[in-house]
Structure 1
Amino acid sequence: MARQHYQRLSPADIDEIWRRLRAGHSAKPTARALGMPTSTVRTYLVRCGGIKPEPRQRAAGRLSLEEREEISRGLAAGQSLRAIAAGLGRSPSTITREVASNGGRSRYRATAADQAAWARSMRPKVCKLATNPVLAGIVAEKLQCRWSPRQIAGWLKLTYPDDPGMHVSHESIYRTLFVQSRGALNKELTAYLRTGRVIRRSHGIRVPDGRGSRPGIVNISERPAEVADRAVPGHWEGDLVFGRQMSPVATLVERSTRFLILVGLPGGNHKADAVADALAAAVQHLPTHLAKSLTWDQGHEMAAHRRFSSETGIDVYFCDPKSPWQRGSNENTNGLLRQYLPRRLDFRTLTQDDLDAIALELNERPRQTLGFKTPSQALGEVLR
């Protein structure tokens, strides 16, 4: 017997799918729990763009099925439309239009009239980007520059402060991308999003990587208070990002300006001595007031942190185990970097010039946390 690859979802199935997605489950375990093929759940999610459809509701003031049944009974009893309207507390014109649009006195049927009204209510509301081609063109252009919808929305408000018609929320951009019935942005533009996904997916909880503590380190709890409040520039967060066949690139992010430096590791060597040498070479030209501290996780690649501090004068602090959020600026930037450095790419094929070009493009992208200034602008203000 052939395996069934699709089955119709009941309202209860749909409610359970969204409940599990909100709890952090993916499509596969959700489908397994419901006893249905994974393709059934994924097809449904792609069709609605990963965004839960709003439940259909009868608009206030519209005739209900019960009222239509009263109209039908009144017509059968030979009552006038005005008398029926008075009995329902409705305007006579409302009842007149209802009867006229559903076959007249002789052919009016309550159930058929209600079903027709329900079908007409499905007309989709036209989204803002569909009615403003200039705005849609700007949004599409910025998406192709790999700006996030939130960055685009914030930039539009700064660029057109006195023109609300040129403002659009980031949620509207996401919905227009993922729900193609809106018809304003091509679905191919989702390839320029950081994740490259074709459906909206809520943020989940990251699974800890299980790395333990290292001896001879200075814990983040001993870091000066000025680092935590980001008021003083010169404090950095760092990490390695890996490509195909464990090819690494080091990332350094300045906490107050979010300015990024990418550091290539020759030959993909990420042993402690090689990482210390590469990082020391990368920061040697920084002004003294921009080279104060570095926060890293507890990976083996920073085992030579004492030598790095001795050569650069930069104090190194280490996060608690399984606590990547303690260097959140770096984690966020590493996520943005995946648009340029996907895991399938062998980073050893890239030169330092390639990495510098990627860093420059990211440093020229507006950031919400900077009031939609770019990291380059924020760093320029610090240097001035």
Structure 2
Amino acid sequence: MGRCYLQLSFEERIKIAKWREAKMPIPEIADRLSRAPSTIYRDLKRNHFDGGGLPELAGYYALNAQTMSEKRRALHRKMVQHPQLKAAVEHGLKAGWSPEQIAGRMRLEQHGVRVSHETIYRYTYSKEGRAEQFYRHLPEHRRRRRPRGYRRYQRSHISDAQNLSNRPDRVAERVEFGHWECDLVMFRKEHGKINVTSLVERVSRYTVVLRNEDRRSKPIMEALIQGLSALPADARQSITFDRGSEFSAWQRLKDGIGADSWFCDPRAPWQKGTVENTNNRLRKFLPRSTEPTALTNRYLRSICQRLNATPRKCLGYRTPAEVFEAKLVDIQNRLT
């Protein structure tokens, strides 16, 4: 596999300029820089200063060559070339959309000028993007991209539960609508016991967020019953939990709304990855430093509306709200 081509750096151009002034042959310059001679020839030709009407000033200068190269590269970056495109991307990021969601939605809506998610990331971490602190608009506000890592979880054991391995294939494979995943979003201990339930439907990725006054299981289950009871029975068939003690009163769901409960293996909450991913998205609006006593139902609903109006790659860049509403219409049509 060939080596990936890298642009000449400013330091390399300084050396080229010095060695050319000393009349060093280009093949020797290329050998010293571990570059192909064609790379040096091309840079000397493309970034040659013509003297601006003064032939005696013509030549190759490192700073001038670097500036010319950067300007030429910028012209080929869509977000520099098209300010309206950059504004549209920035608007999507500020709305909480990821670069991949923005790019996918542009393809779905067949925009005349659009970008890939990689182009958005490249601009974010380019010289121009860093100068504008564009990374602040990304969902996780990271100053630089990082490789995928692992997360550690600590959960207590819960007994007398239906294991996830017994969950029907139609649920596991997201074939059937009406199956949810649930978790709690916690805040710093000094803020008290108030927390938030995050609930996500597995097919549509539709999100519901509920406030809890503490981590007692019975009130949490009662809140789930109240929150889901307005839906048709086919839209609330089961909920998958991890083995946290806050879900120990799971039998109440069956008695209250007829919903089954499924539980991940011990210390394996990643098995309900949909809600774990949603929790990461929620942290943009509900960081751990949040003062939970100030959380109102109106604010939590506004968060849900933003998440459910965000296009998702797994949905063909449709929004969770669009898919969820279509599934409810299908249920209504079957009942009539």
Structure-1 separation of matches of 2:312 and 2:268: 24
Aligned equivalent of 1:240, options 184, 187, 193: 184
* From 122, 125, 129, the counterpart of 1:178: 125
Which runs of no fewer than 5 residues in structure 2 stay unpaired? 29-36, 52-58, 330-336
Cα shift at 1:192: 3.4
Q: Secondary structure at the match of 1:262?
A: strand
Change (3 A) 1:97 1:229: closer
Residue 218 (1) aligns with residue 162 (2): yes
Deviation at 1:186, TM superposition (A): 2.9
Rounded to whole Å, the distance in 2 between the matches of 1:128 and 1:192 is 18
CA distance in 2, matches of 1:263, 1:368: 26
Aligned to 1:300: 245
**Structure 1 residue matching 2:300: 3-state secondary structure:** helix
Equivalent residue number for residue 42 of structure 1? none
Structure 1 consecutive aligned stretches of length 4 or more whose deviation exceeds 6 Å:
100-103
SS in 1 for 2:239: strand
In the TM superposition, 1:234-313 aligns within 5 A as 234-244=178-188, 245=191, 246-265=193-212, 268-313=213-258
Backbone CA RMSD of aligned residues: 3.6
Q: How does 1:1-384 map to 2 (within 5 A)?
A: 56=8, 69-70=24-25, 116=61, 120=65, 123-124=69-70, 125-126=73-74, 127-161=77-111, 163=112, 166-179=113-126, 181-183=127-129, 186-187=132-133, 189-209=134-154, 211-244=155-188, 245=191, 246-265=193-212, 268-384=213-329
Q: 1:71 to 1:357 in 2, by over 3 A?
A: closer
Given that 1:218 and 1:318 are in contact with CA atoms closer than 8 Å, whether structure 2 keeps it comes out as yes
Shift of 1:284: 0.9
CA contact under 8 A between 2:104 and 2:313: conserved in structure 1?
Answer: yes
In the superposition, the TM-score normalised over structure 2's length comes to 0.76
CA shift digits 1:18-40 (9 cap, x unpaired): xxxxxxxxxxxxxxxxxxxxxxx
**SS of residue matched to 1:208:** coil
Structure index of larger Rg:
1
CA contact (8 A) 2:90 2:137 kept: no
Unpaired segments of 5 or more residues in structure 1?
1-52, 74-88, 104-112
Q: Give, in whole Å, the separation in 2 of the partners of 1:97 and 1:284.
A: 72
Identity among equivalent positions (%) equals 33
Q: List per-residue Cα deviations over 1:68-113 (Å, max 9, x = no partner).
A: 645899xxxxxxxxxxxxxxx99xx99x979x9899xxxxxxxxx9
Distance 1:157 1:216, change over 3 A: same
Distance 1:309 1:178, change over 3 A: same
